[in-house]
Amino acid sequence: MSALLADDHPEIFCGEAATAALADLRVGLMTDRLVPYLGPGLLTLEGASPVPASPEDVAAALQKRVPVPGRIRGNMWAVAQYIESRRHRRTLKKLMADVFAGEPRPSAFHRYLAGLPLGLVVDSWYDGTLTAAMADAGRTDVVDVQGQSRATIGEDRWYRAIDLAGTDAEPGGARTLLYRPHGGIRPIGDVLVSDSDYVEALTEIDIQTPIPEEVRTRRSTRGFLFLGCRFHDQMLRTYARQIVKRSAGPHACVADLATLTVNERRFLAAEGIALIDLPLAEAAQILAG
Instruction: Provide the greatest CA pair distance for the chain.
Output: 54
157-186 per-position pLDDT tens digit:
789 999 999 999 999 989 999 999 999 998
pLDDT of residue 3 exceeding 90: no
CA dist., res. 137 & res. 115, Å (int): 7
Spatial CB neighbours of 215, under 8 Å, sequence gap ≥ 6: 120, 145, 171, 177, 179, 243
8 A C-beta contact, residue 36 and residue 228: no
Residue 9: which pLDDT band, with cuts at 50, 70 and 90? very low
The per-residue pLDDT for range 39-64, each reduced to its tens digit, is 999 999 999 999 999 999 999 999 99
Give the predicted TM-score (pTM) of the model: 0.94
- Cis before residue 250, ω within 30 degrees of 0? yes
The interaxial angle of helices 234-244 and 262-270, nearest 10 deg, is 10
The whole-angstrom separation of Cα 254 and Cα 36 is: 11
Q: How does DSSP assign 94-111, residue by residue?
A: HHHHHHT-S-PPPPHHHH
- Averaged pLDDT for residues 230-234: 94
Residue 207's pLDDT is what? 78
Mean pLDDT of all residues in 275-280: 97
Does the pLDDT at position 210 exceed 90? no
pLDDT computed for residue 151 by the predictor:
61
Instruction: Calculate the average pLDDT of the chain.
Output: 92
pLDDT tens digits, residue range 85-119? 999 999 999 999 999 999 889 999 999 999 999 99
Q: Is the pLDDT of residue 5 over 80?
A: no
* Distances, alpha carbon 145 to alpha carbons 49, 115, 136, 213, in Å: 24, 19, 19, 11
